[in-house]
Structure 1
Amino acid sequence: MASIKTVLRKKVFSDGTFPVCLRVTKNRKTKYFYTIFRSTELEWNYSSGCFNSKNSNYIQNNRLLLKFKDRALKVYSDLQMEKEYFNLDDFSKRFRVDNNPENDYVFPFWEEIISEMKLAGRMGNATMYEETMKSIKQFCKFKKIRFQEITNTFLNKYEAWLRSRGGTDGGISIKQRTLRALYNKAIERNIIKDTNHPFKTYKISKLKGQGIKKALDFDQVTKIINFDTSQYPHLEDAKNYFVFSFYTRGMNYTDMMVLKWQDVDATTISYIRNKTKGRFVITILPPVQEILNYYKQHSLPTKYVFPILLKDGLTPAQIDNRKKKTLAKYNRDLKEIASLCGINKSLSSYVARHSFANCLKQKGVATDVIGESLGHKDLTTTQVYLKELGSTVLDDAAALLL
């Protein structure tokens, strides 16, 4: 007898989530196969082995989990037809090959991970993986490579190649981190062994980006808050989005784009940050309430607060495409606002987040409280202590900006 089930394995990650695995049991022996997913206990249905409705993308995620399970059932059935006796090692070998016919070749596995990310609606991650894979292929002159060929020497040569093409520390760091994440996924799925791990000797931490975080001081932010758009109606949305982001602890554009009216109650906004999956509950300050009231009257007949997504029911690919188009316009409009306000800085969507932190610092708020306000996940002693703080401390800090 055998059982195949998707389960939440009790091996907690630093962000409080658990890996979602395919558990295969035969003759009282068990093997786990990692999927691309992580989940909190609140988002998981233990009895049915799937995400519940508290997961923001549970329908598509469950479809992909079912695909994993169906693939495993087919492999198990095929082995039953072919062999009178087989064990979990036989199943594991066949299942890995079925997932990746070229086994330890890098690019087929990479393409499979990208496909899974797209199916799960993780378009931002998929784009980053695609861009890094394209870069590695160019570096390798489009030759096939195995994971065993990714060594410390390979990584240093790739870094030198990127620098020869104008790469900066920040850009190189992003690509190397993406490659490291792929390497770790290959280990998790038993494609390769965790021996001679190249990133144990090649330290990405040495790549310290030199870019300066762009931020406004409180006087400059005030100019934008007081900017009269009556003569510039095409800039109304851009101003509102910037002010809204500033007073909601630097909510980024992606999270604003998909913010729903159901996430807003009489006194708070509650949402899960797309980038980190951290949950935020933010007290609605008067400037934010004013903006919400405006869009109650002027928004489209959709479930979304802001008129960025034009209709409900868009696919992840459609949402990602819409984001790229509207974000480009938003950033152009912000630069026009900066010029009209006499602000001699390049304004973009992320400046609101940096400005929030900078202005809190101006007001004398402690650095650790600022970090917590922004939802930083660094595992430091200060952050561990701050986990004990209530959200009222953070809301009081934000209220200082009024």
Structure 2
Amino acid sequence: MENTATIAVVIDRRRQKVDGTFPLKLRITYRKERQYISIAEYVSVADWDKLKTTSVRGGQLKELKIKITAIEHKAQLILKSMGVFTFRRFTELYNGKSNNAVVSRKVINYFQSFIDNLFAEGRIKSAWGFACALNSLRQYAGTNLYFEDITPAFLKKYEEALLIKGLKAGSIGFYTTSIRTVFNAAMADGIVSKDFYPFGRKKYQPLTSVNIKKALPFADIMKIIHYTPQDPQGKEALARDLWVFSYLCNGINVKDICNLKYSNIDGDRLTFMRQKTANKLRSNPRLIQAHLPAIAQDIIARWGQKPCLPNTYIFPFYNDQQSPLKRAVKTHNIVSTINRFMKQVGQELGISKHITTYTARHSFSTVLKRSGASIEYISESLGHTNTTITEVYLASFEDDTRKEMSNRLLGL
């Protein structure tokens, strides 16, 4: 639904100056409501009548005529760039005071602005993800795409094109949910009307993939914990220790491990906040508490920085001078190192499952489940906002357990 606002420079006869002139104003009309913006020009009624004619000869009146034409042209361009009209937003854009530099309804431009904001907020990993989604959309649709062009049919064809390219459901779902997030932001900014929203029931719903459970059997976890690296000070030893630390400490992820300071430790208790949800829960921060068993304390003793001052980062990865981008790159590199060496450890131990940093987190939650812990306790330990999120982390029982249950049906 296009906006139906109209604009025109008019004389305001309500406010006559002492010299007999009246102010000129830009009048904006929308749904029978009018608002005015001053253009800092004053004319007499006679001069205004001359300005309305097609032929205005040289001098100040001609210059004013040119200025009025330019103002109306600028206002028309702003109207065309606005998907949804509001007087407030029009005034901001006209005066150049809008926080959103992108006034175009072109998706690519707004998408890039959305990514730039993520970078500015230090949400680097999220920005990288949305950048991948943007590149995919640009390759498919080009740069001349408007939000109104993103219909359920468009999204379905986009999905089919990605399937033909060989992308998996999870990747396609990520790309289309990213588009949905940006579309929601554009609606909130008044760029596009909710009448054009293409997502939801009986519209388009992003693909979802079946969660591949990554938890290890308890016996394999014990093999990793008791594994002796060849070089106790090497990268393999560090990777193994960080993986074990994650497993023992509520499945803490690598970014949060890097962010730990000695002030997070109180005796055998570790308290921290998940960086992933810090922005979402800013008004109601959720702290996670984990027990530090002797093995975890030994890992800190081996790799922790000295001296153990409250504001010192425990592990030697972050420092206060690093930018968010440098931290994101550092975290990515540490994750890659852990995954590479844990693959080698798994091969040496004869573990068939692929071992990654995610495996530690999933294994933590799954072992608790099999030990009889409630979903609510596991959810709190993981720092989830609800138990539904927790359930995707909980793997099914191992084949041995399933076989045992089946045998019980036969009294074996």
Contact 2:365-2:378 at 8 Å conserved across structures: yes
- Indicate how the Cα distance of structure 1 residues 256 and 299 shifts in structure 2: closer, same or farther if over 3 A, else same: farther
Q: Please give the alpha-carbon distance, in whole angstroms, between the structure 1 residues aligned to 2:354 and 2:360.
A: 12
1:244 maps to a residue whose letter is F
Q: Please give the alpha-carbon distance, in whole angstroms, between the structure 2 residues aligned to 1:169 and 1:295.
A: 40
Match of 2:226 in 1: 226
Q: Please give the alpha-carbon distance, in whole angstroms, between the structure 2 residues aligned to 1:373 and 1:176.
A: 31
Contact 2:305-2:312 at 8 Å conserved across structures: no
Match of 1:306 in 2: 315
- Indicate how the Cα distance of structure 1 residues 202 and 257 shifts in structure 2: closer, same or farther if over 3 A, else same: farther
Matches within 5 A, 1:1-400: 88=88, 90-94=90-94, 99-140=100-141, 142-200=142-200, 201-204=202-205, 207-231=207-231, 233-234=233-234, 235-277=236-278, 278-296=286-304, 303-309=312-318, 311-378=319-386
TM-fit CA distance, 1:337: 1.2
1:234-256 residue CA offsets vs partner (Å, 9 max, x unmatched): 21111111111011111111111
Q: Please give the alpha-carbon distance, in whole angstroms, between the structure 2 residues aligned to 1:348 and 1:120.
A: 28
Q: Please give the alpha-carbon distance, in whole angstroms, between the structure 2 residues aligned to 1:247 and 1:357.
A: 10
Q: Please give the alpha-carbon distance, in whole angstroms, between the structure 2 residues aligned to 1:228 and 1:298.
A: 25
Match of 2:74 in 1: none
Q: Please give the alpha-carbon distance, in whole angstroms, between the structure 2 residues aligned to 1:357 and 1:89.
A: 48
1:315-361 residue CA offsets vs partner (Å, 9 max, x unmatched): 11111222222221111111111122221221111100011122112
Q: Please give the alpha-carbon distance, in whole angstroms, between the structure 1 residues aligned to 2:41 and 2:260.
A: 53
- Indicate how the Cα distance of structure 1 residues 352 and 194 shifts in structure 2: closer, same or farther if over 3 A, else same: same
Contact 1:121-1:316 at 8 Å conserved across structures: yes
1:284-330 residue CA offsets vs partner (Å, 9 max, x unmatched): 23222222222336799993211233x43111111122222222111
TM-fit CA distance, 1:371: 3.0
TM-fit CA distance, 1:92: 4.1
2:292 maps to a residue whose letter is I
Match of 2:30 in 1: none
- Indicate how the Cα distance of structure 1 residues 293 and 198 shifts in structure 2: closer, same or farther if over 3 A, else same: same
* Seq. identity, %: 27
- Indicate how the Cα distance of structure 1 residues 105 and 229 shifts in structure 2: closer, same or farther if over 3 A, else same: same
| 3-state DSSP of counterpart to 2:190 | coil
Q: TM-score by structure 2 length?
A: 0.66
1:112-142 residue CA offsets vs partner (Å, 9 max, x unmatched): 11111111111011101110000000111x2
Q: TM-score by structure 1 length?
A: 0.67
Contact 1:97-1:103 at 8 Å conserved across structures: no
- Indicate how the Cα distance of structure 1 residues 191 and 179 shifts in structure 2: closer, same or farther if over 3 A, else same: same
Contact 2:375-2:387 at 8 Å conserved across structures: no
Match of 1:386 in 2: none
- Indicate how the Cα distance of structure 1 residues 231 and 292 shifts in structure 2: closer, same or farther if over 3 A, else same: closer
- Indicate how the Cα distance of structure 1 residues 335 and 299 shifts in structure 2: closer, same or farther if over 3 A, else same: farther
Q: Please give the alpha-carbon distance, in whole angstroms, between the structure 2 residues aligned to 1:203 and 1:133.
A: 19
Contact 2:305-2:313 at 8 Å conserved across structures: no
1:267 maps to a residue whose letter is D
- Indicate how the Cα distance of structure 1 residues 106 and 222 shifts in structure 2: closer, same or farther if over 3 A, else same: same
2:345 maps to a residue whose letter is I
Match of 1:388 in 2: none
- Indicate how the Cα distance of structure 1 residues 208 and 315 shifts in structure 2: closer, same or farther if over 3 A, else same: same
- Indicate how the Cα distance of structure 1 residues 360 and 98 shifts in structure 2: closer, same or farther if over 3 A, else same: closer
Higher CA-based Rg: 2
| Structure 1 runs not aligned, ≥5 long | 1-78, 384-402
Contact 1:216-1:351 at 8 Å conserved across structures: yes
Q: Please give the alpha-carbon distance, in whole angstroms, between the structure 2 residues aligned to 1:157 and 1:199.
A: 14
Larger mean CA deviation between 100-109 and 240-249 belongs to: 100-109
Contact 2:169-2:208 at 8 Å conserved across structures: yes
TM-fit CA distance, 1:158: 0.8
Pairwise CA RMSD? 2.9
- Indicate how the Cα distance of structure 1 residues 177 and 82 shifts in structure 2: closer, same or farther if over 3 A, else same: farther
- Give the total of aligned pairs: 300
Contact 1:261-1:305 at 8 Å conserved across structures: yes
2:291 maps to a residue whose letter is T
TM-fit CA distance, 1:101: 4.5
2:144 maps to a residue whose letter is K
